Amino acid sequence: MLSKRLAAIDKGRCVACGACVKVCPRSALSVFRGCYAQVDGDLCVGCGRCAGVCPAGSINIKERVQA
Amino acid sequence: MKKNHWYDYLWIWSILYFALGFFNILFAWLGLIDFLLPLIFAAAGGNKFFCNSLCGRGQLLNKLGSGCKLSRGKPSPRWFSSKGFRYGFLVFFLAMFGSMLLQTYTVAAGAASLSEAIKLFWTFRVPWDWAYTAGFVPDWVAQFSFGFYSLMLTSTLIGLIVMVLYRPRSWCAFCPMGTMTQSICKLKNRAG
């Protein structure tokens, strides 16, 4: 059962600092080849801790779109 | 809980660097490690492992901001992380670095004498003569130390100010090293 919400990253604004990776309690975040952070949608529970530390304000918690 | 690595304690290095430079300015040269390592990781490995895991300054800002609750934790202004400001700040920073190298060269060439002072925010001259005994090394070696230490101290102070005002790692949004390494990674990634 997936959470209702999850983290969405604005790749154009992300500075790839890795602050979000450090605080994620589910290890759902990683920095893709030094370019931007990416979320593993299966692991993310939408807690919002990453959004709270992101220095660039590039993470928003959004409603999960059911496929 | 996440396991701690040895490199999670590199924030101590960040403090140690300034402490060493307070007593002997020649230690400022060690700062080149923080300057070259991120570029090596980006150019050779195509990653930001330095920013993500090794940056002592990022860790220190996080420790003070989150750990010691010295940060207001407010979102930083949007323009902090805009491309224009980030690249603009990088260009400014490199220009200041270039002017510091030029000063070092002028001293090496004998056209200027050694200035035993730190310049904060590229403006305020702070006497720092206790940290160096004239003649210990060639003048230009000492001049570079004073210049580089000024750069490191100034950028850390800016980092601390934005840490207090906004989020702990707000500095990372426009850190010149971060902008440089991310650009290298993006270029590498595009090249395939």
Three-state SS string across B118-155, please?
EEECCCEEEECHHHCCCCCCCHHHHHHHHHHHHHHHHH
pLDDT tens for chain B, 192 residues: list them. 467 899 999 999 999 999 999 999 999 999 999 999 999 999 999 999 999 999 999 999 999 999 999 999 999 999 999 999 999 999 999 999 999 999 999 999 999 999 999 999 999 999 999 999 988 999 999 999 999 999 999 999 999 999 999 999 999 999 999 999 999 999 998 876
What chain B residue is nearest to A53 in terms of C-alpha separation? B167
Whether B1 maps to a domain, the answer reads no
User: Does the beta-carbon distance from B184 to A16 stay under 8 Å?
Assistant: no
Cα-based angle B153, A36, A13 (whole degrees, multiple of 5)? 75
Per the CB < 8 A criterion, the answer to whether B75 and B167 are in contact is yes
Express the helix, strand and coil content of chain B in percent, nearest 5 each.
70, 5, 25
Instruction: Identify the pLDDT of residue B47.
Output: 95
Which residue ranges of chain A lie beneath pLDDT 50?
none
The pLDDT value recorded for residue B55 is 96
A22 at the B interface (CB within 8 A)? yes
The pLDDT value recorded for residue B4 is 85
What is the domain range of residue A55? 5-63
Provide the number of structural domains found in chain B: 1
Tally of domains within chain A: 1
Binary contact (B167, A13; C-beta < 8 A): no
Using CA atoms, how far apart are residues B74 and B166, in angstroms rounded to an integer?
5
| Cβ distance of B51 and A18 shorter than 8 Å | yes
- CATH number of A33's domain: 3.30.70.20
Mutate which of B37, B48, B61, B183 to disrupt the A interface (most A C-beta within 10 Å)? B48
Domain membership of residue B77 as a residue range? 6-191
Residue of chain B whose alpha carbon sits nearest to that of A22: B52
Q: Is residue B28 part of a domain?
A: yes
Does some domain include residue B80? Answer: yes
A13 CB neighbours in chain B (<8 A) are 81
The answer to whether the CB atoms of B167 and A53 lie below 8 A apart is yes
Count of beta carbons in the 10 Å neighbourhood of residue A49: 17
Provide the 8-state DSSP code for B2: P
Residue of A nearest to B86 (CA): A15
Q: Report the complex ipTM.
A: 0.90
